[in-house]
A and B are shown apart, each in its own frame.
Chain A
Amino acid sequence: MTNVAPRPRLWWVGTIAAAVLGIVLLVAVWAKVLDPAAFAEQIRTEKLDFLVPAGTLALFALALEAAFGLALLLGVRRLWVLVPAVFLVTFFLFLTGRAWWLSAHGLRDAAASCGCFGNLVQRTPAEAFWQDLLLLVPPVLLAFVGRRRQAPVIPPVRTAVVALGAVAVALFAWKSPQLPLDDLATRLRPGVRVDGLCAGSGKGAVCLSTVAGGLQKGDNLVVIADISKLSGGAADPALAAAVDQLNTAAGNPDGPKIWLLTAATPEQLTAFNWTMGPVFQVIEAPPELLRPLYRQLPRSFRVKDGRVTETYAGLPPPTQVAAARNPA
């Protein structure tokens, strides 16, 4: 007969709160692990990569966040979990609070764009701060309630699961850019309509159909690309070759209409147009609209009558461009 200590009063409150916080952290990990490059970009934006490169830091942070999330979900409410969790939550609040302050004082640079549209963020820095505060602070505080003080400091099985989970997350994040997960990780996937791919909210929302109205009709082959590499006048050979192919395809009146979407400054666009000589539609789109559509650039997709039918990692496959040149 084993001697099991009775559960403290309100044990269930702390356990549920810890589980809620654990789920929130794991959902956040899932969103980031599919596109660690975007997470690394955020790290660079927040200037947190002063000691370790942003990519490495992103993997480490994801493993750490996953470890705490798993531990809390599995009910490991020891101080070695809860105290760092408090620090983690405080750090997140510091970041969103700082973003709010910088934005309110006009100290955060807007991303490169044509400048036609206003602020297209899905949630304002103030909203982000208050949402994080409400979502993270109550559970992290309640997770301290009703802890079993005489339980083992390091529960072996659950700790092993946490360690394995953290390592698995780091490995997955490391390899995920090479895995064919673009359709899962981004909003651009077969079946979606271009008028449903939007940035911003309400009447001021900008959709893909707003910036490239022609996608609503007919057969279209679209490339999302970064043209900023050309701003110094040097041509990226791969992109140069692609522009040649796309120019040829654009010359075929029976093929799909060719588009290039890019978030670029007017200078970058001038450099691209005069260095590469595209004869297809080059459309400037707000970065807030484009960023959720890719993990790595370039990315391409086919749109028929406003609906995405296929997506391609990288430039369109030669067969697609050839089909554009020589339609059956």
Chain B
Amino acid sequence: MTRTSSSLRRSLALLLLAAAAVVPVIPAARPAQAQPVPSDAVFRGFQRIGEYVLLVGGKEDKSAEIYQNSKVPAYLILSSALPSPVLLTPRAGTVETVKLMKVAKQKDGTVDLLADAALAPQGKFDIKGEAIAFTSEGKAVTMNPNPPLLGIKKNADLKQHNPEYARTAQSYNPNQATIAALKKEAQPVTVRVFFGSWCPHCRQHVPLLLKVEDLLGPSKIHFEYYGLPRDFKDPEAQKQKIRGVPTAIVYVNGRETGRLETQDWAAPEVSLGKVLGIAPAAPGAAK
């Protein structure tokens, strides 16, 4: 009995030790999945953004996720380098922490705070140029502007760099007749898009072409995206006389046949069709 209970205690202790060893391995920033408590009425629907990178103690946390609420001015930061998720409230300028278990990730990728989430004040944030700096639970944190994407990139790179690109692309419904016509394009076409990941208008327009590329799938039309710095000082951009972004150059059989500039981006598939000599669909055909 004594031996049995002693071995039971040993087994229990081993189990506890094993559990204790495993717990720190679980990512600190994984929000609650099961949601017995309803979401907060205000702090819900946070969407992931790509405008900032997170530095904790001067070191970039590449796994950090920064979310913004579109209904109330609020940002939520989930980082394994921070003890708790951080809620930043512009206007009030406040920094607050919330328990990880009170953060719920939704199926659509948005994040909610639970209704019973308690916020722990951590002080105020500072605005330093384009960066936001604050201290949370003793850790110095800075949100720096996401460095620009430079050079040739692919569709997925843009979506990864800024999740907003993926969201905008997903919500865009291009003209299906034009997409069908573009799929039938027989000549090899390259569409090189000069863009600035820092440029708000590229954020608005380039995702539309990403969606077009997604819908075209394997076709004769090849897309590449060329990221420029803010000062446009790039030999390729200068060679191609790029004056503004986004600008797409369309090459057919290696020869430039046209460009998509400012006004052409409202429906890029239609503009691309025009450059390639595909008759645009009748007004109202766009869905």
Contacts and interface: CB of A to CB of B under 8 A. Distances in A.
Contacts of A209: 263, 266
B243 A283 contact: no
B199 A114 contact: yes
A266 B261 contact: no
A186 interface: no
Q: Which among A116, A118, A205, A276 has the greatest number of chain B C-beta atoms within 10 A?
A: A116
Interface string B61-97: 0000000011111000000000000000111110000
A116 to B, nearest CB: 4
A211 B245 CA distance: 12
Interface string B258-279: 0101111110000000000000
Interface in A203-243: 203-207, 209-211, 213, 216, 233
Contact of B200 (A114, A204, A247, A267): A114
Given A115-B230, A205-B263, A209-B266, A273 B201 contact: no
Contacts of B71: 251, 279
B27 interface: no
A210 B244 contact: no
A279 B145 contact: no
A56 interface: no
Given A270-B127, A271-B127, A276 B199 contact: no
A247 B91 CA distance: 12
Given A115-B230, A118-B243, A279 B263 contact: no
B171 to A, nearest CB: 12
A324 to B, nearest CB: 15
Of B198, B200, B262, the most chain A CB neighbours within 10 A belong to B262
Given A118-B243, A279-B70, A206 B230 contact: no
Interface string B226-245: 00001100000000000111
Contacts of B129: 267, 270
Contact of A116 (B72, B73, B231, B245): B245
A209 B89 CA distance: 32
A205 to B, nearest CB: 6
A279 B199 contact: no
B146 to A, nearest CB: 12
A8 interface: no
A4 B72 CA distance: 82
B90 A115 contact: no
Given A279-B70, A279-B71, A266 B265 contact: no
Contacts of B259: 203
Contacts of A213: 204, 266
Interface residues of B, number: 36
A224 B115 CA distance: 37
A119 B67 CA distance: 35
Contact of A275 (B127, B145, B196): B127
B145 A207 contact: no
B198 A266 contact: yes
* Secondary structure type dominating chain B contacts: loop
B199 A204 contact: no
A274 B262 contact: no
A84 interface: no
Contacts of A210: 201, 262-263, 265-266
A284 interface: yes
Contacts of B70: 279
Contacts of B28: none
B201 A207 contact: no
B97 to A, nearest CB: 19
Contacts of A211: 201
B204 A119 contact: no
Interface string A71-97: 000000000000000000000000000
Given A205-B262, A206-B262, A209-B266, A277 B90 contact: yes
Nearest to A210: B262
A95 B263 CA distance: 33
B131 to A, nearest CB: 8
B127 A278 contact: no
B91 A116 contact: no
B203 to A, nearest CB: 10
Most buried by B among A209, A216, A270, A271: A270
A12 interface: no
Interface string A22-63: 000000000000000000000000000000000000000000
B73 A278 contact: yes
Interface string A280-295: 0001100000000000
Contacts of B245: 116-117
B278 to A, nearest CB: 19
A193 to B, nearest CB: 13
B43 interface: no
Interface string A236-275: 0000000000010001000000000000001100110111
Interface of A: 114-119, 195, 203-207, 209-211, 213, 216, 233, 247, 251, 266-267, 270-271, 273-279, 283-284
Given A115-B231, A117-B245, A270-B129, 17 more contacts: A115-B196, A115-B199, A115-B230, A117-B244, A203-B261, A203-B263, A204-B243, A207-B262, A210-B262, A266-B198, A270-B131, A273-B90, A275-B91, A276-B90, A276-B91, A278-B73, A284-B201
12 contacts: A116-B199, A116-B202, A117-B201, A195-B263, A204-B261, A247-B73, A267-B130, A270-B129, A274-B90, A274-B132, A275-B90, A284-B200
Closest 5 A/B residue pairs (Cβ): A277-B73, A118-B243, A277-B91, A277-B90, A116-B199
